[in-house]
Amino acid sequence: MSDRFRLTLAQLNPTVGDLAGNAEMARAAWAEARDARADMIAFPEMFLTGYQLQDLVKKPAFAADVQRVLAQLAEDCTDGPTIGIGGPLPGGDKPFNGYFVLSGGRMQAQILKHHLPNYAVFDEKRYYHAGDPSGPVQVGPVRIGIPICEDAWFEDVCETLQETGAEILMVPNGSPYHRGKMDIRQSIMVSRVVETGLPLVYLNLLGGQDDQMFDGASFVLNPGGVLTHQMPAFEAGLFHVDFQHGSEGWRAIPGEKAHLPDPWEADYRVMVEALRDYFAKTGFAKAVLGLSGGVDSALVATIAADALGPENVRCVMLPSRYTSQTSLEDAEGVANRLGTRLDTVSIGGAHAAVTEALAPVFNGAEPGIAEENIQSRLRGVMLMGLSNKFGEMLLTTGNKSEVAVGYATIYGDMAGGYNPIKDLYKTRVFETCRWRNANHRPWMKAPAGEVIPPRVIDKPPTAELREDQKDEDSLPPYEVLDVILEMLIDKEASVADVVAAGYDRETVKKVEHLIYISEYKRFQSAPGARLTERAFWLDRRYPIVNRWRDNGQG
């Protein structure tokens, strides 16, 4: 028996539903692995179809197409390394989440996922049958155990594989990013290594899918939990891992260890890469957004310029009678520093016309929020007109604090196709702007340096829909609001818990009320990059009609 084994890890970025494109990517990677004399090339969970598939996975025509493409891939890749690749396997009323080992033009083995995650963004019990645990697969001189993603988060599947003769554990994953996720993965995988005494390969999917970002960051552990390889986060590549057999069994020969980003850089890169992939995978190349002179739109413009290039971003200032000279100057300053186009389209004439048209109906009613929101909705009309005319996707610019309490106008500043900062609280918006001003990386397409003027970051936030308006006229200060929101939303704390932490009960109850009555707005809001474990959409699902409130009685 050979005492060497080369495993090539394909940390690549598939597109959901692009079966032909994903298979072609796999063929090209297989050819490169063959030239590198690999014994096996492994792809992540559900690579052939992309992930997550949601109800698409239950469509019979899709399932048949998957099997056809899989058979063709096996036939095309005969004289070279064994392939391990993920995809659904038909199972009657719903499929299995499978992993296929292809060798010599045929299916050598198929492994079925046993533990189906059904929390956070995952609904796998809705979409898949649970399979029985499988034994290891012989690939050349090595018996490889393949626990699929969640199967490695529990002891039983890995222990069964070790007891049935596995010599290496190779874990294909579709594990999406949230802040702190990288440390969690490594900690759990170290536990599996310590329990089984086997080396472990953690291979993760890459790329954006709707609100989720699969961040790669694959790694390899030897017994004892020793890290031998760390693949980069957010970067595609083929990585060759060599194993050697000795008196104690198979061990990975140590290789390169990429530096992983800190949470601030990781969050910012997720927002950039998620936007970049969302555009590429939906067929858009250019973006348009309203640039108000405020901090939120400045950050969104910067993210878009870093993702797409400044030449592909159109910023639009839409002044009204309430727009200050400072805002005009600040919007121009951001666009000039980024190098984006800046158009100015006044809403004054349109606002006067709408006001005149509604005057007979509004007659006798006190002016208020309705009149203010007309301005926001007119801006949405103008921006959507530009989007339609020039084929540029409109980006919305509401942060998580605003989205949480409904401090945004539906069909107005909420109009658009994507929101990069949807899961970023306002206080983190400020700090993220400062981080970007102080840091530049090769993956950023916008200029280095202070691209967001400090005045934009430091001035009091305002929607400028009436004279001398400030956000704090309607909301608590953001440093207070964000703590309350994080407790009520991210931690599901009770009102009593928040009050016990030192916050005024009346303020907490007001915030709770705003969260619940804004559910209908979030239901219609644009998707955006998921950064936390409680992002709005799949992580947090509440009814729109809901009269329950926390009165501290429970």
Q: Is residue 423 part of a domain?
A: yes
85 found inside a domain:
yes
Q: How many domains does the chain have?
A: 2
In this structure, what are the phi and psi dihedrals at residue 388, rounded to the nearest 5 degrees?
A: -65, -40
Tokens describing residue 178? 């949230």
C-alpha distances (whole Å) from 109 to each of 33, 99, 167, 273, 361 are: 20, 8, 17, 35, 71
- Is it the case that residue 420 has pLDDT exceeding 90? yes
Write down the H helix ranges in 339-460.
348-362, 369-390, 400-405, 426-438, 454-458
Is residue 367 included in any domain, yes or no?
Answer: yes
Q: Which of 77, 113, 124, 422 is catalytic?
A: 113
Other Cβ atoms closer than 10 A to 154: 14
What pLDDT is stored for residue 474 in this prediction? Answer: 78
User: Which range marks the domain in which residue 450 is found?
Assistant: 264-523
Of 199, 224, 256, which closes a domain? 256
Q: What is the greatest pairwise CA distance in the chain?
A: 92
CATH of the domain at 465: 3.40.50.620
CA angle 5, 8, 13 (to 5 degrees): 165
For residue 236, the tally of other CB atoms under 10 A from its CB is: 15
Q: Partners of 101 in the beta sheet?
A: 84, 109
- Verify whether residue 149 is a known catalytic residue: yes
Mean pLDDT of 268-288: 98
CB atoms within 10 A of CB 426: 25
- Cβ proximity of 115 and 121 under 8 Å: no
Question: Does 551 reside within a domain?
Answer: no
The arithmetic mean of pLDDT across residues 214-236, rounded, is 98
What separation, in Å, do the N-terminal and C-terminal C-alpha atoms of the chain show? 66
| 269 plus 251 within the same structural domain | no
Same domain, 340 and 473: yes
Do 145 and 99 contact (CB within 8 A), yes or no?
A: no
One domain for residues 268 and 252? no
Q: Please list the residues that pair with 338 across neighbouring strands.
A: none
In a domain, 533, yes or no: no
pLDDT exceeds cutoff 80 at 232: yes
Q: Which residue has the tokens 């409109």?
A: 394
User: Which tens digit of pLDDT belongs to each residue from 299-340?
Assistant: 999 999 999 999 999 999 999 988 899 999 999 999 999 999
Model confidence at 467, pLDDT cuts 50, 70, 90, reads confident
Mean per-residue pLDDT, 343-350? 96
Q: How far apart are CA 512 and CA 499, in angstroms?
A: 12
Domain boundary (217, 237, 256) is at: 256
Our answer to whether residue 77 is catalytic in this structure is: no
User: Cα dihedral sign for 305, 307, 309, 314?
Assistant: negative
**What single-letter amino acid sits at 177?**
Y
Residues 333 and 200 in one domain: no
> CA triplet 525, 53, 63: central angle to 5 degrees?
145
> Helix (H, G, I), strand (E, B), or coil: what is residue 211?
coil
Digit-coded pLDDT (tens) for 154-202: 999 999 999 999 999 999 999 999 999 999 999 999 999 999 999 999 9
**How far is it, in rounded angstroms, from Cα 6 to Cα 1?**
14
Residue 411 has pLDDT above 80, yes or no: yes
| Confidence label for 553 from pLDDT (cuts 50, 70 and 90) | low
Asked if pLDDT for residue 407 goes beyond 60, the answer is yes
Q: What percent of the chain has pLDDT over 70?
A: 98
246-271: average pLDDT: 97
519 catalytic, yes or no?
no
SS3 359: helix
Tokens of 121: 């963004």
Q: What CATH number did the domain enclosing 132 receive?
A: 3.60.110.10
Alpha carbon distance 346, 332 (integer Å): 15
Residues 86 and 231 in one domain: yes
% residues pLDDT > 90 (the chain)? 93
Indicate if 230 and 355 belong to the same structural domain: no
User: For 43-60, how does the pLDDT look when each residue is reduced to its tens digit (9 = 90+)?
Assistant: 999 999 999 999 999 999
Alpha-helical regions (H) of 145-227: 155-163, 181-196
On whether both 231 and 274 belong to a single domain, the answer is: no
Residues 369 and 321 in one domain: yes
Catalytic residue among 45, 124, 402, 486: 45
User: Is residue 405 in some structural domain?
Assistant: yes
Residue 465 has pLDDT above 80, yes or no: no
Mean pLDDT of the chain: 95
Contacting residues for 287 by C-beta, under 8 A, at least 6 apart: 275, 279, 304, 308, 312, 313, 314, 392, 393, 394, 395
d(C-alpha 354, C-alpha 376), whole Å? 12
Domain final residue, candidates 218, 240, 256 = 256
Q: Band of the pLDDT at 534, cuts 50, 70, 90?
A: very high
Residues 330 and 455 sit within 8 Å (Cβ to Cβ):
yes
Pair 203, 218: CB distance under 8 Å: yes
* Mean pLDDT of the region 420-435: 98
Regarding whether 349 and 431 lie in a shared domain, the answer is: yes
Rounded Cα distance between 206 and 10, Å, is: 10
**Which residue carries 């109009």 as its tokens?**
415
Backbone φ, ψ for residue 121 (5° rounding)? -85, 0
Task: Let me know if residue 534 belongs to a domain.
Answer: no
Amino acid type, 217: A
**Cβ-Cβ contacts under 8 Å for 482 (sequence gap 6 or more):** 401, 425, 426, 427, 428
Indicate if 99 and 175 belong to the same structural domain: yes
Active-site residue (options: 77, 149, 315, 433): 149
Beta-strand pair 200-204/219-222: antiparallel
Is residue 554 situated within a structural domain? no
With 0-12 / 13-18 / 19 or more C-beta atoms within 10 angstroms meaning exposed / middle / buried, residue 187 is exposed
Q: Are 212 and 279 within one domain?
A: no
Residues 312 and 242 in one domain: no
